[in-house]
A and B are shown apart, each in its own frame.
Chain A
Amino acid sequence: MDALTQLAGGFSEVLTVYNILLIFLAGMIGTVVGALPGLGPSAGIALMLPLTFGMPHASGLCLLTGVYMGTMYGGRITSILINTPGDAPAIITAMEGYPMMLRGQGGLALGLSAFSSFIGGFFGLAVLIFFAPVVSSYAIYLGAPEYFLLMLLGLSTIVLLAGDNMVKALLMACVGVLVSTFGSDYISGHIRFAFTPELIEGIDFVAIIIGLYGLGEVFYNLEKRVRIDLGKPSFNIREYIPPAYAIKESGGATVRGSILGTVIGILPGAGATVATFLEYALERRISRKPEEFGKGAIAGLAGPEASNNASVPGSLIPLITLGIPGSGGTAIMLGALIMFGMQPGPLLMIKSGDVVWAMIAGLVLANIFLLFSNVLLIPVFVNLLRSVQGHLASVVIALCVVGAFSLAYSTFNIWVALVFGVLGYLMKKADYPTGPFILAVVLAPLAENYFRQSIMLGQGDWAIFIDRPISLGIIIAMVVLGGLGMATKRFMKRREPAARA
């Protein structure tokens, strides 16, 4: 109950008119920033940072975390409406949400994803409030070998994202691996394929997804002369509140997504991305209607969206208990804590506990505000899109170009986005799946680096993967799950002819 008393203390600090207004505004700003392709949590927090200098520390932190949470809500808007995810965890949202949009269910997709985002965020916050110290003391025992196996698990979902043609999927995964090798390699210290100085840090991942999804879709639609008919603007709010059947269908997925997102979101690096892909694979595996996936499945949208938001409080756990940032957004938060004169590290909760609890209380509040503001904002976004639907291609191109430019304030990334836009168009035309490609781009370098780190830690000995109990546990789980999967497949095949006969 200690946590509750401290949380109550946090709330007593946050519940002033000034702070409530601030958190509300932060959520709105975050939603808009997250909705713009190219601007994600890192950019949102960095943009707000100078504003917080004159504020009391608790208010400043509430503003930043509110923006962080808001970008997670906002990211789904462009994914669903114009097929342009703003960051890696929103890719699944585009894969399932955009087809719903094309079917005229954009409002439902937005409402449902806002709802599951809320549940996911809430679940993650509960874990943050009650178990943060316990969780982080265990999380540090996961090292490079465990991370490598986890990335492998993430990469294995390529099989599920493959669609009809496994060869095409594996081919695309290989191209993804190739693209991910550009830039400096911190393990060897060498720089690979840096034809111009801009490539020293590799190809910007966000420029890739802006091109692949946003521009690629536009090019394809231009050729096919697709006209998206979204109907006339309507402000009937009932269109946007998810009906009972949808909530029922997505309930299980949302809960599973929340748990998975919190657990995996705590891990640094690609925690949130791996969580969304694993959750997607899980939902597809246990679904009674797996053929709907990729064509706008409600469970496939809700589950990963819950994981996505559950990972935000998850990633804050190592930051506030140990001062270790697990993502781009939390790395900037770390900088902000230092600028506020606090010392992120194991003593943060002891030295500045009141401020941290006020920040957590602010997050709880932000999550509630965000649910309501996002549901109420859906008509605005949908109708905004409806009013420009005749010129949608030019609007999307403008957003993509501005988004790509804003990544490094240079035109270089616009060219990168264009190259991947053409690639995305060709892939769509020739029916190559984008999922395996993008997953390989995100996870292959991490898998590679964790693998090399493991072997280095073991001083050349592979035994490190089975000497460590957690690592051994993951390997056994993978083998058992894989074996079971194959066995049931065989069993089903044998039963099918029998049933027919």
Chain B
Amino acid sequence: MNLVQLTRSDHAGLRIDPAKAAASAAAIHLVPLVADEIRKVAGQFPVFLAKDGETGQFYPAALMGLEPQENLFWNGTALEADVLPLNLLRLPFFIGGEGDEAVICVDMASPAIDPAGPCPIVTEDGGESDYFRAVQAMLGRLAQGRNATRRFVDLALEHQVVREMKLDLAFHDGSTSLLTGLYGVDEVALGRARSAIADFGDLMILAAMCLSLDHVAGLVRRKNARLAAQAAWFTPSA
């Protein structure tokens, strides 16, 4: 990764191929979310809380693989998903700094930086391209969503609806895996706490997280398919 601050003088001629940006997600199994996208993302991926290793604080994240550095939605050229988190869609752009100090940065090492890419960031008449306006909007949602996300996580913890979920899984080839460090919304606990959660929007996000745990089965199915494909590749054909 090579993050540099985006400036008109240095980067006006930059062209992006957004499809290639997703390649950076090939080796990511957890993608951080902001609160206001959880309901949508939870329709596709299991959504958990995980802990930031530096600060110990919980953050919501979509699970895309069953071990670190595994993304079961990456097929070698694209992410096979109808919905993607903002943190993948914004690539190769990043927010650097916080609050008033925040600036837009770009990863100059990203494969999405491509002179033949379909998306300029500055149009021929010198204005910002529609593509880049969409990126700015996403970065804005991510930056503005920080506090709302923190508040949502605190609410989930305060109402004690969060439980550690150890994913103890067995696959068709007989192998097993144990994924720890994931915390999900527990249905029974949510049932107990529901009358104390005043905001219906909060309740719906928690319910969406709770129901999204069913998507773990989808991840296991993808893992089995991947293992079967690898096994077939290793078996010499008759």
Binding between chains A and B: no
Taking Cβ atoms with an 8 Å cutoff, the residues of A that contact B are: none
Taking Cβ atoms with an 8 Å cutoff, the residues of B that contact A are: none
